């Protein structure tokens, strides 16, 4: 006969372990079962020494109280329920997480009930959940006010999230009215005046608050048109709404939430509509995936998990004190501006749904070219880092918008840039964060290697390794921006020109300063070309001086680091992809002749929607080799380090300058050469 022990209880091997009972603890501690119950339930009526003796006995016997028995003794289950309209919505998931985190700290567990957006069954589901727990958290209930009041009386204690109760129960409300106002004000500042709203569920209280904010925006902007389209609460609703959105011919769409915005983005992408070049899109809630959308979604951030934690604090207070007064807390969201919103399209290209079958057809809105007479004017807002600086001409035609670059991902090397840059006919000749190269941003100074720091963005070329994403991205930060009047250009003949003058600090990946830049950007009108029937154009003049105020500089490129032909870095202009693009230069026609050449000028002649444009880029002083692409994507800039590093001694400087002519017509090579010579022969100050 073989015998043994298990855990010191005399249990035989293979036998089921005997569970200690409350009676075993009472015997071991020499007290009554009632005393053990009071100690285990946390009552303070037991003498401290006796309570300690009971806890020691329970620990030695590995006693665990029965939750069912404990609930009967206390009249509580130590469980609460969260009732949501759609658990698939990440917002409700985050609220649930907040409630669970708070409840766990106080020894409570959380059940979840999903009403699947069925307001007819919502009350019954909430009542059933309440029968299984001690209290409820109702999130965004869809039932009417009268039904909600009756339900609150039946299920108390209860806390509501995203719904006012009139003092019947504690409530936590997000100020979606203010959120909607923030979104619209952002779009209005970008020039949008025709906006479509994709509405949420019919009985959603937060949807009503959004509409109240939209109504306020209409009252504040008499020229603003906000159209209303029914949608729903999910991705499918947004995707299905894409044809209707395009049919409105709106320049911006505001979705009920981020999920609807995601669906809309997918539908627009399938229709070949660019966001934000053709239409801007914004959402609400700032769910975790919003910043990872393509493009990243502009949305209003709501403190979702904090809502849940706050809801638990209110509910716990009510559970512990039936006389706890009902309170209401209001949360103010904040706008997160990302890549899905941009300036209102000013060019002739607009894509709309117009036929009965829902197919995509392109309608072109012809914008007449009326030659302005007054010189372009820079508009400098109170906070240039928060609001765009723009160059306008004539009756408010926007030629240039300067962006501080704060919304760029860090791996794109944040920097101030110009986008969009339009012709006088309203055609944009810049692109920003395109699919082929996400780190390309309009017109700006981008250098892949300054003392080992990348101010170009994206991957860095490593010899014997290839393109590699490193954490070596620096940042260009404006330290001051102003507008200065300059003497009238002999070429403009239209009065004094204005220059945008900016001081820019370049800091490496560690935040340490590397160099200081003096930047000066001027816009002026170009008179009618003599002997030409071409439409008039205008000139953008950019001059920057890089100062080695923080030590010597070694400026390199992928070409100097072992990649032949990749000598890019400096002032770089990224154009949009067009139906056709022709490259002209003094070296001849085509990309291969212009790339690497020391032609004083290059020109991109593009065709888009039956319209012709020309971007003529001229190096007015020192001529550097051109880095140029047109087949893979259209873009060009003089190369600072074409085939050898550029060394700038401590205290030294290097100048970058470029003159760009934007025309609503196609230039020939001969005409481009003549115009370039005219600009460099006394035409530039």
Tokens 């055609």 -> residue: 427
Closest CA to 213 of 185, 186, 181: 181
Instruction: Summarize pLDDT for 92-104 with one digit per residue, the tens.
Output: 888 889 899 988 8
Is residue 644's pLDDT more than 90? yes
Is residue 659's pLDDT more than 90? yes
Q: How far is Cα 217 from Cα 209, in angstroms, rounded to an integer? A: 13
pLDDT, average across residues 149-158 = 86
**Angle, vertex CA 533, rays to CA 532 and CA 539, nearest 5:** 70
Is residue 74's pLDDT more than 60? no
pLDDT score of 353: 45
Q: How far is Cα 656 from Cα 519, in angstroms, rounded to an integer? A: 9
DSSP assigned state of 231: -
Instruction: Summarize pLDDT for 313-329 with one digit per residue, the tens.
Output: 888 888 876 555 557 78
Is residue 640's pLDDT more than 60? yes
Is residue 388's pLDDT more than 50? yes
Q: How far is Cα 328 from Cα 286, in angstroms, rounded to an integer? A: 23
H/E element, 82: strand 79-84
Sorting pLDDT into bands at 50, 70 and 90, what band is 685? very low
Please tell me which residue, 669 or 71, carries the higher pLDDT value: 669
Closest CA to 649 of 561, 520, 555: 555
pLDDT score of 347: 54
H/E element, 572: strand 570-574
Closest CA to 261 of 223, 305, 292, 220: 292
pLDDT score of 532: 52
**Angle, vertex CA 505, rays to CA 501 and CA 508, nearest 5:** 155
Q: How far is Cα 282 from Cα 275, in angstroms, rounded to an integer? A: 11
pLDDT, average across residues 514-530 = 88
Q: HSE on the CB side for 245, CA within 13 Å?
A: 32
| φ, ψ (nearest 5 deg) of residue 506 | -100, 120
Please tell me which residue, 259 or 370, carries the higher pLDDT value: 259
pLDDT, average across residues 419-425 = 93
pLDDT score of 683: 46
Please tell me which residue, 683 or 257, carries the higher pLDDT value: 257
236-240, 284-288, 485-489, 676-680: which is most confident = 236-240
Closest CA to 586 of 660, 671, 668, 673: 673
pLDDT score of 684: 43
pLDDT score of 148: 86
pLDDT score of 41: 67
Sorting pLDDT into bands at 50, 70 and 90, what band is 496? low
Is residue 167's pLDDT more than 90? no
Q: How far is Cα 450 from Cα 556, in angstroms, rounded to an integer? A: 6
Is residue 619's pLDDT more than 90? yes
Query: Contact, 266 vs 237, CB < 8 A?
Result: no
Query: Contact, 638 vs 445, CB < 8 A?
Result: no
Mean confidence (pLDDT) of the chain:
85
pLDDT score of 117: 83
Q: How far is Cα 383 from Cα 421, in angstroms, rounded to an integer? A: 21
């Amino acid at each position: 006969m073989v015998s043994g022990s298990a855990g010191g209880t005399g249990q035989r091997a293979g036998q089921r372990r005997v569970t200690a009972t409350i009676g075993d603890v009472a015997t071991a501690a020499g007290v009554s079962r009632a005393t053990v119950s009071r100690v285990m339930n946390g009552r303070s009526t037991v003498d401290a020494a006796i309570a300690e003796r009971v806890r020691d006995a329970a620990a030695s016997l590995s006693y665990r109280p029965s939750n069912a028995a404990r609930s009967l003794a206390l009249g509580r289950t130590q469980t609460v329920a969260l009732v949501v309209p759609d658990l698939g919505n990440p917002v409700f998931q985050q609220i649930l997480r907040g409630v669970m985190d708070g409840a766990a700290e106080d020894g409570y567990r959380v059940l979840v009930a999903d009403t699947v957006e069925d307001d007819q069954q919502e009350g019954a589901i909430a009542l059933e959940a309440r029968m299984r727990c001690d209290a409820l958290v109702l999130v965004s209930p869809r039932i009417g006010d009268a039904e909600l009041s009756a339900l609150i009386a039946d299920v108390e204690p209860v806390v509501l999230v995203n719904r006012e109760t009139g003092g019947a129960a504690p409530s936590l409300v997000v100020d979606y009215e203010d959120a909607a106002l923030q979104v619209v004000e952002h779009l209005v500042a970008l020039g949008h005046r025709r906006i479509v709203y994709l509405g949420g569920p019919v009985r959603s209280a937060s949807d009503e608050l959004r509409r109240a904010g939209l109504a306020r925006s209409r009252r504040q902007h008499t020229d603003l048109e906000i159209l209303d389209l029914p949608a729903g609460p999910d991705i499918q609703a947004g995707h299905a709404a894409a044809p209707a959105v395009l049919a409105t011919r709106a320049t911006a769409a505001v979705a009920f939430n981020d999920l609807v915005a995601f669906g809309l983005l997918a539908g627009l992408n399938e229709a070949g509509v660019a966001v934000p070049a053709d239409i801007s899109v914004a959402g609400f809630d700032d769910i975790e995936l919003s910043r990872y959308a393509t493009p990243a979604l502009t949305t209003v951030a709501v403190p979702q998990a904090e809502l849940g934690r706050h809801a638990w604090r209110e509910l716990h207070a009510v559970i512990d004190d039936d006389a706890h007064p009902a309170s209401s807390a209001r949360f103010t969201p904040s706008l997160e501006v990302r890549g899905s919103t941009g300036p209102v399209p000013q060019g002739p290209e607009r894509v709309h749904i117009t036929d009965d079958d829902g197919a995509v057809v392109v309608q072109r809105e012809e914008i007449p070219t009326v030659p302005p007479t007054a010189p372009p004017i820079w508009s400098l807002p109170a906070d240039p880092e928060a609001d765009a600086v723009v160059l306008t001409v004539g009756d408010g035609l926007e030629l240039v918008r300067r962006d501080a670059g704060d919304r760029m991902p860090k791996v794109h090397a944040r920097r101030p840039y110009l986008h969009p840059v339009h012709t006088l006919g309203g055609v944009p000749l810049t692109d920003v964060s395109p699919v082929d190269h996400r780190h390309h941003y309009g017109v700006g100074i981008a250098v892949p290697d300054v003392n080992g720091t990348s101010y170009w963005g994206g991957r860095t070329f490593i010899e014997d390794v290839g393109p590699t994403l490193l954490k070596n991205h620096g940042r260009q930060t404006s330290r001051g921006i102003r507008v200065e009047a300059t003497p009238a250009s002999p070429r403009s003949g239209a009065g004094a020109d204005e220059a945008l003058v900016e001081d820019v600090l370049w800091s490496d990946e560690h935040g340490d300063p590397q160099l200081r830049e003096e930047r000066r950007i001027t816009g002026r009108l170009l008179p009618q070309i003599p002997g030409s029937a071409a439409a008039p154009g205008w000139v953008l003049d950019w001059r920057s001086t890089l100062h080695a105020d923080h030590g010597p500089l070694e400026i390199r490129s992928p070409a100097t680091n072992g990649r032949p032909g990749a000598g890019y870095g400096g002032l770089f202009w990224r154009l949009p992809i067009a139906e056709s693009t022709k490259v002209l230069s003094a070296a001849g026609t085509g990309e291969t002749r212009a790339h690497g050449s020391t032609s004083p000028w290059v020109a991109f002649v593009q065709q888009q929607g039956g319209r012709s444009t020309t971007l003529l880029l001229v190096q007015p002083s020192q001529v550097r080799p051109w880095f140029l692409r047109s087949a893979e994507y259209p873009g060009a800039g003089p190369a600072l380090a074409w085939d050898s590093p550029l060394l700038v001694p401590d205290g030294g400087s290097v100048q970058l300058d470029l003159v760009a002519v934007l025309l609503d017509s196609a230039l020939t090579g001969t005409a481009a050469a003549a115009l370039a010579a005219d600009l460099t022969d006394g035409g530039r100050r």
